[in-house]
Structures are given as structure tokens and as C-alpha cells.
Chain A
């Protein structure tokens, strides 16, 4: 391994990586131009999973679109649900009750841990560490049980609603979550002992796919990939939304911006998220979970069945053209999703359907910057770098 492999004599080989490759975790494609084992040029191709989510947004009403947001970053659908309804609510100029804000933080942080866990498992699996994959999936399973009990679904959660959430937390949710947050740091320690000082893991990730902080900003990287370069920027701190200013947490940063730092940043973020979750549970306020405005949220079932007014409100909320109608205007709302800045830019013409919805996916930028990190490296680094970026095809192609 010393000094890399000698350069072969000028003969280029083109290697097609993907769209179906075990390490792409989705349908991504990279065309690599190789000289021996070193990468001369990498050309990423996107679009294999393009589903027209932005076009759909111009035809679905505001609550219907929530189910589409599940399918963007399918590793943390709760964060997407959250980011989207927040944008609509800010467009409507409404603020949801405190309890709802706390529940949303709780769910977003749990899904951040779940997202990072899946990333950890698969990134390690790609580099041959099979046990880590099993360990992280074991933990993730506990979270998915909590999601399933709360939202009724494991993957397509659709938990938030414009002006609130689908339903309050289930009885015993607090105990389940507390059980998780007390066990989880120990479980994560196991992974640390497996990887952090592991010779093979360090060789495969240290100084692999590095990017400087200036380049990272120039390429539009956000989230853990940006913080790994040393920029301590987190939207939850910089522009606190939905009561994030009431919890304390640290923003972990790296220094080299390589795959190893991205790994460390994500590992620490999971611990910080656990801290946020504990604070949220400690201070969880009582009260309603939906805004008390029946023009926006559904009335109680008993009202809908028992009172004519409730029935009318129910009817109005679900009927096309009678439900949520933000005033004419536009808004861009950014949230810190597990992968980075997830933004929704919504243009409203005053009707019940958005005039235009634009999603700003973090993965799009990470995948774009891939050649910058790969070129000059070795072909085997492709898997390590791609794994460390956590490119999710669903949000990349939308």
C-alpha cells in the first residue's frame, strides 16, 4: 500500500460504477476514468430515480403532499415531514402549540439517530465491517418500533399535518424512548471500539475524499459533510425553528473534511441528539397537539360525528379547494435534516394547491461534489467516499 500503486503507462480504462451496485444504495451511477488504480476523472450521473415530486406538488393540496415528502429521504421521513409542514405553516403565519413543537423535535431527533445508524451500518458494510451493520440495525430496529407505534408506519410515516401532528404520542412512548436513550450510548460505544481505532477502518477512511471548508461551502455542502471540514454551522443553532432554541446541544466539527471526520461527526451527532431527546422528554409540555383553528386542522372525531359545525369543518378541510389555503406569497424554509440543509421553497397563488414547490435536497450537492473528492484517489476509495456522503437517491432525484 505504500505510496499507492505505480501509475500505469497512460492507458485509460473506463469503469462504470452503478446504477446497480451494492455500494450505491439506490440507483446512482458514476463513470470513472482510471489509470491503473488511480482515478483520473469521475462523472456522476443522477436522475435514475426521478419521480417528478416537484411537478406533483403543483397538483396535490398541502396536506396530500406530506405523503410525497416521506419518499424523499426515505431514511428519515419524519425530518422531511417536519421540514415541509414548517414551510407551509410559516407561509400561513401560524405557530403550532408548544407540545406539538416538542413532539416534532423528538421525532426529528429520533429519525436523525435512525438515519445516522443506517448510514453507519451500510458505510461500514461497504468497507467490509459486517458486525457494525448488525449492531446498528439492532439499534435502529428499536427506533422503528417507536415510529411504528407513534405513526402507524415504519417507513412512510406521514406523521405531521399542517398545523399539528397526526396524533399525540402513544401511552408508554416516553418509557420506550427513555429506555432507548439510556441503552443507546452503550451500544454506540461498542461500535466505537469496533471502528474508531481500527487500523483497517482508519486506513480506508483517513485522508480519503478530503475537502476543504472553502470548497465545501463553494459546492454547497451542508450538514455533517460541511461540519466535518470544520465549519460549525447548524441551522438548529443559527436559525432556531420550532423551539430548538430551548434545548442545549453541541455542534460537533471535524478538521480534515475526510471520510473519517464525517464518520466521527455523525457518531457524535447521535449522542447530541440523545441529549436533545432527553431534554425534550423532561420538559414536554401538556396541551393540544394541533392548532385550534378548524380551518386548518381536522376537528375531533366526536365533533365531526356529533355536531353539524364539526362536520362542516371536517368536510371543508378535506375537500379540494376548501382546505388549507395560504395567502398569496412565497417562502423558503430551511431545516437541518440528518443529511444537511433541507429546504422547501413554496410559491402560493392563494389556492389550496401550491403554485410551485421546490425542494432543496442536501444529497444533490454532496453527489455533485463527489468528483472533487474522488479525483486523484484510488478506485477502492470510491466506495468509502460515496458511503461517507450518504447520498440518498430519493432526495437526489426527487
Chain B
């Protein structure tokens, strides 16, 4: 009883209050750890929520710190929690207006790797989404130039997927520049 009271007394971060108010239907889960608010949102509303977070004058999450993904295929508990979505696209946001750090996660199923691109909101998302595509195979819809960025253009596979072996699949043999140019 006492513990519950203590939790209630802590002020709720503004971003959580506002998200619950305006985008309650998009929220799949919410959490606060080590000063960071973590929310999981539905893919369908991801763009709208991120746009809201960026443009709301009080929140003003104008700085997209990072976009990446996690392959949860070997993390049973995460898989179960979010309807067996294999990938989790992770956005780290920062607000120069003093709001707490925010982590937005979007579950993406293996049989539908499309998720909306946020390049229209942040220029910096361009390469981050390219890297996430390169490493995980997530397809960002609406991205102006979704190509590989770190791996060679003719590379097959996505190295940060959990079923990709650490030492590769022998692709180095195919680095034949004469053949590529022919």
C-alpha cells in the first residue's frame, strides 16, 4: 500500500501525460527507467505520434538522436509481449526544452517489414534509416533513397539479424571488382 502511494506521488513526465491524452490508442506500453521515458507505439500511428512529439511546442523533441532496431527473435519475453513482432525499431529523442529523454519503440513483424520513414520530420533520419535497412532489412516507406550504406551494394543478407553468423557467409569471395564492373 505504502509503495503504491510513493509511486503515485512522483510527478508523471509531461510527455507521458500528453501522449496519454492525445495518442492513447497508439500506446502499447509505457515505462520510465533511469530518467528515460520508454513508449511502445503501434506502427500504423508511428508517424503521427513522432510528428506530434516533434511539433508540439511544449514537448519539442526536435533532436532525433538515433534510429536503430533490435532483432528480438532470441528474446522470448519481448516477443511474447508484442504479438511476436520480430523487430523493434527504436527511436531515441531529445528535447532542447528540458523534457526528459524519450525512447519510442515500434514493433515490426517479420512478414511485413514496412514501417513509415521519418525523413520528412528529421533530415538526420535519412542515413539512420538506411543503416537500419542495411543491417536489419527494415523497409522504411517513403524514404527518398533507401540503399545500403555500410555494406557493399551487392551484399546479400542483413548482418545484424540474429540468424546471421558472426563470421559471415563467405561473401568476401564475391568481392571481385573486375566482375562487378563488367
Interface residues of A (CB under 8 A from B): 46-47, 50, 52, 54-56, 58-59, 90, 215, 217-220, 231, 233, 239, 328-332, 334, 341, 343, 345, 347, 349, 355-356, 358, 360, 364-365, 368-369, 372, 397-398
Contact = CB atoms under 8 A, between A and B. Distances in A.
B92 interface: yes
B36 interface: yes
A330 B75 CA distance: 13
A218 B124 contact: yes
A320 B150 CA distance: 30
B52 interface: no
Contact of B36 (A46, A52, A332, A372): A332
A55 B160 CA distance: 6
Interface on chain A toward B: helix, strand, loop, or mixed SS? mixed
Contacts of B92: 332, 343, 345, 360
Given A47-B149, A231-B96, A360-B92, A331 B33 contact: yes
Nearest to B162: A58
A86 to B, nearest CB: 12
B112 to A, nearest CB: 22
Nearest to A235: B94
A46 B92 CA distance: 22
A334 B151 CA distance: 26
B165 to A, nearest CB: 10
A345 B68 contact: yes
Contact of A215 (B101, B123, B127, B164): B123
A360 B96 contact: no
Interface in B93-146: 96, 101, 103, 122-124, 126-128, 131, 135
B123 A355 contact: no
Contact of B70 (A50, A52, A55, A347): A347
A219 B65 contact: no
A313 to B, nearest CB: 28
B64 interface: yes
A218 B65 contact: no
A233 B96 contact: yes
A349 B38 CA distance: 17
A348 B155 CA distance: 29
B166 interface: yes
15 contacts: A47-B151, A54-B160, A217-B63, A218-B122, A218-B123, A219-B124, A220-B64, A231-B96, A239-B101, A331-B34, A332-B36, A332-B92, A341-B65, A349-B75, A368-B127
